[in-house]
C-alpha cells in the first residue's frame, strides 16, 4: 500500500511514522523547509490532561487519555512541570471553583486542592480556589530531531501539495498515484474529505518571557480558568515561559487559512507592543510582580484551526471521503486518537 501524507507537524509526522512502522510505503509532503515549522513548533507546549476544557467532555477525555499515551510512547519528548497550578478567579471565571473541581474530578483527572496562601507570586484574595495537577512540557526540538531521523527517506520538504484528485481507483497527489491520501495540514488544503465550513482560522500571538535568575524557588506554571483568561507556562528552554491570553492572543478570525497567513505577514512592531501592554495589564491584578519577575523576550506566531461553536471543543476528528482522510487536529496528545482511526480504516 502507498500512502501520501500532507503536513509535517505533530499529526502528519506521527501518522506517517505509525504507518511506516506497519510496513506501509509513505511519502510525507511538507511545504516549508523543516518539520514542526508551523503550529507544532509554535504553541504553548503544554501536554494537556484536560484541565483547560471544563466545557467540553470530549476534549477532556481525549487529552486525559492522550496525555498518558504520549508520556509512555514518547518519554523523551516531554518533561514534567514541577509545580503546575490552575486557579479559578473570583469574578472573571464562567464557573465557580466547586463546579470546576467537580467536573475535573468526575472526569478522572488526578488533581489536588491547594491552599491559595501557599502559592507564591499571586494576589490570593482575587481567587476562589486552586488545584495542582501533573502536566508536562513538550520538547519540540527533540521531537523535530526524532521525526527527522525516524522519517528519513519519507519526508519531502519544500513541497506544497496543490492537487488531490480521486479517479481510476487511486488518489492522485500532484500527479502521482497513491492508494490513500491523508490531509494533516490542519485545514490548509481545500478539504479532500468533502466537509467544509465547520472550522475557522485564528492567527495567534504568544509572548516569550525570561524569568529573573535570582528567584529562590522554581516559578510555577499558572493557568486561570474558566473563560477569557490567561496562562504562563514553561518551555523547553529553562527560565523561558510563554504568556498566552484568550482575549489578546487571537489576531482575527478567518474563513480560510491563506487569509490567516496574510494577517500574520502584516503584523508589525506597533501591534506587538500594543498586545504586550494589554497582556501585561491583564496579568497585573492577579500577579502584581509580573513585570519585575519577567523580561520580555519576543513574540511567537502561529495559526489555530478551530471548530465553530461556543463549547470550546478542541477534540480531534478524522473525516473520510473515499481514499482521502482529513484530520481535524485537537491537542498535541490527540495524535493517537487520529492515528488509531486511520490505521483502523487502512490496515
> 32: which residues sit within 8 A by CB, 6+ positions away?
8, 38, 157, 158
β 221-224/84-89 pair status: parallel
C-alpha cell at 195: 466537509
Q: Could you tell me the smallest distance in angstroms from the CB atom of residue 130 to ligand FAD?
A: 20
The least distance separating ligand FAD from the CB of residue 332, rounded to whole angstroms, comes to 3
Element (H, E) at 291: helix 290-293
Considering the complex, state which of residue 47 and residue 131 has its C-beta at the smaller distance from ligand FAD.
Answer: 47
Cβ count near 270 (within 10 Å): 8
307 closest CA partner among 201, 189, 206: 201
Q: In whole angstroms, how close is the CB of 265 to ligand FAD at the nearest point? A: 14
To ligand FAD, the closest distance from the beta carbon of 40 in angstroms equals 3
Least separation in angstroms between residue 325's CB and ligand FAD is: 13
Which CB atom, from 15 or from 131, has the smaller least distance to ligand FAD?
A: 15
Binding site for ligand FAD (CB under 6 A): 6-12, 29-32, 37-40, 43-46, 48, 160-161, 184-186, 188-189, 204, 206, 302, 304, 329, 331-333
Nearer Cβ to ligand FAD (89/330): 330
Please give the Cα distance from 119 to 116 (Å, whole number).
Answer: 6
Q: Which three cell numbers stand for residue 57?
A: 467532555
Nearer to ligand FAD, 93 or 300 (CB): 300
Q: Please report how close the Cβ of residue 48 comes to ligand FAD at its closest, in angstroms.
A: 5
Q: Which of 287/315 has CB closer to ligand FAD?
A: 315
Residue nearest ligand FAD, Cβ-based:
9
d(CA 111, CA 101): 8
CB closer to ligand FAD, 93 vs 245: 245
Q: Hey, what's the torsion of the CAs at 272, 274, 277, 280, to 10 degrees?
A: -60
As to burial, measured by CB atoms within 10 angstroms (0-12 exposed, 13-18 middle, 19+ buried), residue 53 is buried
Amino acid at each position: 500500500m502507498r500512502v501520501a501524507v500532507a503536513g509535517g507537524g505533530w499529526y502528519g509526522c506521527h501518522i506517517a511514522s505509525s504507518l511506516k512502522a506497519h510496513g506501509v510505503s509513505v511519502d510525507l509532503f511538507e511545504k516549508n523547509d523543516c518539520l514542526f515549522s508551523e503550529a507544532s513548533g509554535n504553541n504553548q507546549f503544554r501536554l494537556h490532561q484536560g484541565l483547560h476544557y471544563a466545557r467540553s467532555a470530549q476534549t477532556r477525555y481525549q487529552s486525559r487519555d492522550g496525555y498518558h499515551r504520549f508520556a509512555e510512547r514518547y518519554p523523551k519528548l516531554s518533561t514534567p512541570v514541577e509545580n503546575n497550578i490552575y486557579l479559578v478567579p473570583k469574578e472573571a471565571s464562567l464557573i465557580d471553583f466547586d463546579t470546576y473541581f467537580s467536573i475535573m474530578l468526575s472526569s478522572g483527572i488526578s488533581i489536588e486542592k491547594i491552599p491559595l496562601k501557599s502559592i507564591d507570586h499571586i494576589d490570593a484574595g482575587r481567587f476562589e480556589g486552586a488545584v495542582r495537577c501533573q502536566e508536562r512540557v513538550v520538547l519540540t526540538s527533540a521531537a523535530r530531531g526524532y521525526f527527522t531521523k525516524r522519517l528519513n527517506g519519507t519526508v519531502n520538504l519544500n513541497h506544497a501539495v496543490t492537487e488531490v484528485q480521486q479517479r481510476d481507483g487511486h488518489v492522485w497527489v500532484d500527479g502521482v498515484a497513491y492508494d490513500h491520501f491523508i490531509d494533516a495540514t490542519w485545514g490548509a488544503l481545500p478539504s479532500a474529505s468533502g466537509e467544509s465550513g465547520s472550522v475557522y482560522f485564528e492567527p495567534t500571538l504568544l509572548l516569550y518571557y525570561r524569568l529573573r535568575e535570582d528567584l529562590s524557588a522554581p516559578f510555577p506554571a499558572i493557568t486561570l480558568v474558566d473563560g477569557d483568561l490567561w496562562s504562563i507556562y514553561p518551555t523547553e528552554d529553562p527560565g523561558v515561559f510563554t504568556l498566552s491570553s484568550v482575549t489578546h492572543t487571537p489576531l482575527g478570525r478567518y474563513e480560510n487559512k491563506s487569509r490567516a497567513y496574510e494577517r500574520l505577514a502584516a503584523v508589525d512592531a506597533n501591534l506587538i507592543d500594543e498586545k504586550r501592554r494589554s497582556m501585561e495589564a491583564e496579568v497585573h491584578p492577579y500577579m502584581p510582580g509580573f513585570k519585575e519577575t519577567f523580561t520580555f523576550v519576543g513574540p511567537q506566531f502561529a495559526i489555530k484551526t478551530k471548530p465553530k461553536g461556543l463549547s470550546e471543543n478542541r477534540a480531534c476528528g478524522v473525516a473520510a471521503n473515499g481514499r482521502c482522510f482529513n484530520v481535524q487536529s485537537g491537542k498535541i496528545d490527540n495524535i493517537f486518537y487520529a492515528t488509531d482511526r486511520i490505521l483502523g480504516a487502512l490496515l
